[in-house]
Structure formats: structure tokens, C-alpha cells
Structure 1
């Protein structure tokens, strides 16, 4: 290899454009003389004269010397031509200008792509710690944006990188591990020294989180393998592994013990030879598991076997056979059944005994029937299914409905109450679905119905048994389609409403006799909840009396200490046909009238202390029916005429018994339902009719 030293005379030295001209010239000479030219600067290694960026990075200045080296044929001519070119002023022909630009552009793109495409993060700072550059990998790993950090001091932002330490002592930091949030970084940080001058530092790092995770997983796999080995060796089930050729490769001690055999008699044996008709051979052939096969072994041993193919990458590599002594299985099955039954019972009892929660705090009581009702209500609140609450008047059906709404997922929506019995039939549709302006006389403006008002909430349809059948059909459509139409309107309005209905009527009998639609009954009766009457949960009387006394004391300003034993006995003996509502009203009357600070037997009304007051509703009904029969006989007697009100009572009672509601009875008699209800209360037959309907 020949060499010639050349002094660079160009005022700017070998800067990028000059080097591009050198590269262009070197390519021409190499091709012309079939040789390879090199440039050597100071104590550095020789660099091919056709390599742009390495030559640029030499940063050769005016007046400095570089060595031109050549190898190959006709090397003297090539060396001379290249040396003369370097001594010149680097004037470029206009025809070569484009070639020089292309060389610069191609090399810039190449280095830029290398820098951007490097998977490792790179961050460089100058000698003052100011950030000069970072590549996209660094931005991604460190969650930074280059435009936001360039020019800023490394000590203010990227303190996780050990660049500050390198700037202080100029010593490299190799193989440093750092945790950055959820990432583990491996960082190499080295000083940047050009010549003998310290120019800054560069950190090259990579995210080794996956490697650390794999390392941890490998350790866990090793540990898991050891644990599985211990488990397999100590389980009571017999385990046998067979490879794809049918050779037994492993049996655990339990397998040997169950078969009364020796390990050496099993390992290495081929199942196609020792048990060609067995389920292990079958599973290996068909590639499907065989579960729960009862097999009779020699010496009267019965086992239950499960054989499962081992499949890797869609290929059967063997089978796993697990056997268990059948007698143990039978014992375990009995134990499991017994434990499951106990667990189910205890779970039910635990659920019943749980505190009802704030949503049901208004419903007072701790008796068994009360807890059952509240437990069912709590379960109903977890779903969006329709609920039908059954129970006599005054038992607290609305409180249960409100509690279900409060505990449900739609508790942010409204809770809208509708008493179907209190709204006249001709107004009920408008009340429920709303009406458009001008849809009927008096409709001066649009009105939203209860269903629209209850959107995304709950609507409580109380006394739904009093609803006429044509309205029942419209309610059924709402439940099925989840949409309504206002009276007089054509627009179909989608609604999202949880429906809770309640009634004291016997809907099953009403369905049987045509008073209630069967399809609506099944739609409503998805989750039935029965609220027991007060006479069936007298254990709650003490709780209820205490609650109402405290409430009424606050309202009246009195301080009633409690109830005497004699008075409490009177409360317990009474049948409470009006249920909790009757109890509340009675206590309010007693507290208002009493001058004492306690309630005794004298404060109770006479009917609670008489035998008549303690008659059951059935006994009252039987007496009333007998009385009615006598009256019917008198009516048929032409010689005796009774006052008109007696006949009126008989007719209204007969209509109520036949048609089952004030509305239907009113229509049959040609009078309004309000008149029927008023007359029934006047003659004291409204409760008897209600009890008759309940007892059907």
C-alpha cells in the first residue's frame, strides 16, 4: 500500500460538501484505476475515501495534514491524482453539482434512518449538560417528546439517566440497571471526547422489562415444575403417563399402590401389548378424552378412570390416565352432597339474617316472614325484572317497592307512584301515558304521563288488580315493547322503566274468572313477593310500636315511655284487619288523647278488648254471608217491605262479590266507582269484600 501526505488548503477544511466532492472523485478514480483509496488522519485508522459520514466526522481543518493511501493496480497514478485533488481548491463542475448533492442527501438519509430506527434509546448532552438530541426509541421508552426537551438541562428532567455523573467525573457507566415506572432499563453512558477535548456525554439504553419478566417466568416455571412433581408424588389419585407410541413413561406411587403392582412391572411397557383393549389405547387412537369410566381390576379392585390425550401443536403426543378408588369416590360424593346441602341452607339463613340495609330501613320487623320478604326484595333489586308485590292493604307494599328501587341500579332515576284504584277509568290512560294538546275536552296543553316521568327509574303500579281489562292490554304492550303513545298522539316513545306492581287481590282467581288478563299476570309475576299481614308476624309488634312511638313523640312533643304488659297483650290478641296502617292510626289516636306517659289497657278501644274485635276475617265473612242470606229471604217475602238502604246494601255487596272491583261493580250497576266505594264504606262491607277476594 502506497501513501502520500497532503496538506488541506481549503479555508473550511474537509466540511460536508467538500467531503462529498472527495467521495465523488474517489469513486471515479477507484473505477478508473481499479483500486481502493483511503484517507488517514492523525492517529486514527484509515477510512475508505468513498465513505462520506466517517470522513465528515474527522473534522479536518485548513492547514492540517491527511494521508492518502491506495491499494490495487496502477496505484501510483491513482495516488497522484487523488493527492493533487485534495491539494486543490475543490472547484466543482456545474455538471457534477447534482451528483455531489445526491451523495450528501443519500448519506444524510442513511444516517438519519439508522439513528431513528435503532431500537435502543439514545440521548446526548453537551459538556454543560444541555440536551442535544434524542432518537424516537428514547422518546418512546422515556415517554418524552424531543421538541419539549431539546436545549434543556439534563439535571432538570431526565435524572433517571446517569449522564450527570459522567459529566462530573468523565468516567463511563456500563451495564447500569434502572427502574423507570413499570420499565427496567439497561443503560450504557459514555463521555464524548473529540481529540483531547471533552464535548459531552451520550447514554444508550434499552428496555429489558420483557427479558426480566422472562427471567422471572423461567424461575417460576422451574419452581412450578418442582411443586408439580411434589404434588404428583403425594396425591392419592393414581397417575400414569403414556407417550405417543403407547409406552408407559411415568407412574406415581398411588398408581402402583392402587393396582397392587410394582414400578418395574409398568415402566417401559407398551399398553398396546399389555392392555390392547383398554381405554388408554382407545384415547390414544381417537384423540378424545374418556371420562368417568368404571373399570374392574384384578383382586376385586374397582376404579374410576379419566384418560385425556396430550395434544401439542395439533399432534397427539401421549395420554394422561388418572384413576381413583371407586369406594373413595362414593364416600366423597356423599360428603360433598351433605356439605353442599348444609352450605346451601346456611347461605340462605345468612342471607335472611343480613341487615336489610338502608333502602329497606322503613320496613320495620325482624320476624321470620318479614326477613323472608326482605331477602326476596333484596334479590329482586339486583335485577331489572318486573316485581309483583302481594299482600293485604296496609302491610307496607309501597315501602318494599321503594326499597327495591333504592337498592337497584336505576336508583338515580325517579320513583313514580300510581294508585290504579284511585284514578277513574277514563282518566287512567292519560295519567299513565300522557296526552297531546287538544286530544280531548280540557286538554289545553301537552301532559307527560307517569311512564315518561319514570324514564330511567321505577314506576310503582299500586292496586293493579283494580285496573280494567282494556288498560291491562295497554300495560302489557308497554312491558313487552318498552314504548308508549300519548293519548291523541302518533309518536312512539321509547322508555326505560322498571315496573313494580302491587295488589291485595287474588289475581289467580281473577284470571280464572276473566277479571284479569292471563298474559299480563305472567308478565307481572316474574318475581313475586308476599308481604305477610300483621296478624301473621306479631313478633314485629314490639318493633313497630317502638318505632311509631318514637316517631309520634317527635311529632306531638309528648314523651310516651312505653306500653304496659296488659296493653301489649291486647295488641297481641287483636287480629289487625287493617294491618300496620291500622296500628299506626290507632297509636296516633291514643297518643293524642292520653294524658299519661305510657299506654295501658284502658287506652285501647273497646273493639280490641271484645270477642267481636278478635274475630278472624273468615268468621266476620261467614256472619255477613249468613246475614245476607236472611236478607235475601226477606226480599223474596212479598208481604214485608224493608227500607231502601237495606236493599241497596244487598245489591252493592252482590255486585262486588260478582265483579270483584268497585269499577266493574259500578259499570254493572250503572253508577260511578266512587259511589260504589262510598256506599261500601257506609255499609261496612269494603273489607269483607277484600277478604273474600283474598280467600278465593
Structure 2
């Protein structure tokens, strides 16, 4: 009677342990967002609650068709990497291939048990049993759940109970795998849809003449499209070389005045007297040398766009006359009393701090407000670094074609220098830099040695000092090694051979320069 009572108590204790473990596992699964974390918690629960050691979840890799360990409790990362099986290979491979669970009473007596992970010694093999159940999803085996277990007594009954328990757990895992896969698929679909919408928006806002995909340039494109069809005066602000002339052209070509003339006046290139004549025109005899009447830029731009570049450089006298034209849209030629009406779109540009110039009385406040109706700020190149390589490749293609050169790419070290440089001259400086590089390059790729000295080192970013011999040699050597690794798919032995040096030297140099060969492997 006492024996029966103790057996009932043992069964009840086991049922309580099973329920507690199952509840814990269900809780992990219900809150799972990462399959890896969830599975690790499950095999930990099996070890702590049920005494099931070496809990392992093996999943079919869809790319290779092989079984690979997803998570494993109590074994090293190296052992996990060794645990790879083909379908039908070993106990695990057989379980996944057939979809049927398998119990191995004693690991050491089973020839099909491969012990690929090498985590079980001879003593462990004598004591441990091995239980493996398939993980089924949509009536198809996608992997297996396996454990080691030491049975002191009652192997038959206990192992059958454990097998049923693991089958329930594997079913829960399968449901969670499917749920997480659906969530990931939905996320991926949303990501692709988002990328598609962004590409469509980018294409819609794209201005053909201007290169740039950065968020800062997208803002500029958006502003241009918003104001293009209006007659509002636009003031382009930004450092020299940021592309203000290109934006002015884009404003014109994307407006309803695109069929009209686009007239440019560089206000800083002309003296005051000549600038006034250029803007408003003059009559014959208006001043010495005026042998005939001449139309000014305001008349020449009739029905189109007048672009006043470097507007901050005009004199106070011209500022007054320009203010009247903007306000009244009328003007008089020099030497004439006849009033001429003008129908133009005015776009102005400056790299000066006009607010400071107004405070210093160097620029009229009323003219400033007339010009600053719709300001557009063009960011410097250092604030739109994602556009640097886009621009560099554009200029490479352009100048290679112009000079009949077969230069197809920019080397990695040269890319690093281009991206790290602060570009005080902005896009214009980058354009000149790439033209120079194309002219002196005789190979298929632009290398760091083809770039100006100002780009050659981190110290030279804020200094014009020439490179030291040691630094120049290091840059050249590093570039040669990277090029060799690229050509040989990251294989260091082949790279050493192509450079006619030893593997030991290559390994030393790779370590010294912080190069990662695995980055050059084609996956």
C-alpha cells in the first residue's frame, strides 16, 4: 500500500514538474519576438526543470538544405558549428527526413549516433540516452528538438513520457516558428513597400540636373517642386560650390516659364556702372562708349527667368534701383525716361550672411525682405556625405568618357579618403578633384595616389602639409593589399601569391593595417 502511495506521489510530482515546465515554455513562446532568444530560453527550461541536458534545436537551412544547430544548451559555439547534418544523416538527420521521433537508450551503443559536436565523452555515452523529435510545420519537417537524459531507473516508461512531452514542446515551437515567420514576412513586405514608395517619391522629386539622394537634398528637391510654378522670388542660400546655379536652372526648367529665356547675371563680376547697364540696358549716348542702344538683362529675360548670382555683392546705388524693379516690375534704361514693364521670374543667390550685412548697413533691409520671399538653403557637401560617392562616380563617368579612358571604378582606399574629407570647396572641389584623378590615372581604377595631397591623410584634412614618405608608402601598400584581396575573394594565400610575397608577411600587414579579409569574400 505504501509502495502504491509513493508511486502515485511520484507521478503527481512528475506531472506538476511537467506542467510547470510547459507553462514556462508556453510563456516564453507567447512573448517571443526573436526566435533565437525564445529557443534558448526553452532549452534552458528543459535543462533546469526536467534534467534534460544538451537540449538542441536543429533547423534546415533553406539555402544549403543542411541541418544546422540553431540553439544548443551547454555546448560551445565551435561545437555548434560542427553540428551540421545532411537529411537522413545520423539520428537527427533521420528524424527530420522521416518525421518520426527516435529514442536511443544508450548513446555509446548506437552506430548511427555521430556525435558531431564532440561534447560527449566515453563515460557520458555509457550513461546517457538520446531523445529526438521532429519539428513539424504545415505537415512538413523543418527541424528537430533533441536532448540527452540520464535515467537511473524505469527507462521504458520515463522515456516514453519524455518523448510525448518533447513532442508537445516541438509542436508549440513549430507554431511559434510559423508565427514569427509570418510577422517577419509582413515586416519585409512593409519594408519593401516603404522602399518602393520612397523610390517613387524620390523619382517624383528628382531634378535631372542635380545629383543627390541624401535627405538634405530631398528637402531641396521638394522645395524646388513646391515653388517652381509660382512667380515668387526665390533666394538661394549656401556656400560657394554647392550648386546654386544648377538649382536656379532647375527652378526655370520645371516652371511654366520653361519655354522662355534663362538669363544669368554674375553681380560680383561686373563693376557698378557696367552692372547697372547690364541689368537695365542703355540708350545711345547715355555714357561714353554707348554708341548704340542696348537691351538690359531684364528685357532679355522677358517671359522667362532672371538669375542674379552673388546678389550680396551689389552696390547700394544698384540696390535702390533693383528694389524699385522688384516692387513695381518696371524700370528705365540708362539715358531714357521711358518706363518699361517687365514680366520675369526673379531668382537670386548668395553665399554671404545677408542678415549680418543688413545689421552692418551693407545691404538694404527692404531689399533683403523683397528677395527673401522663398529662401532655399543648399547644404554643404560635408552635411550630405551620402551623396559624395554618387557625385564622384558621376564625375568619373563623365570625365572618363570625355578623355577616352577606360576607368570603371574607384578603389576602396580612395573611397575612404573621398568620404572622410571635409570638402571646403563643396561639389565644385569634388568635380575638380575627380577630373584631375581621371587625367593622371592610367589603370582601370582611381586609387588614392591619384587624389590631391589634401585628401591623402587624416592630418591633412585641416592642413595643407604634404604627406610624409612613410605615410605615402603605407597608403600605397594598404591599397595594394586590399586590391589583391578583392581580386582573390578574400583569400590571403592567393593574395600573397599575386603580390609575389609570403603569406606570413601578408598576414602581418593585414593585422597592422586593420584590414578584414572576410569583408572581401563574395557571399
Larger radius of gyration: 1
Quick check: which one's strand share is greater? 1
The alignment's TM-score, normalised by the length of structure 1, stands at: 0.38
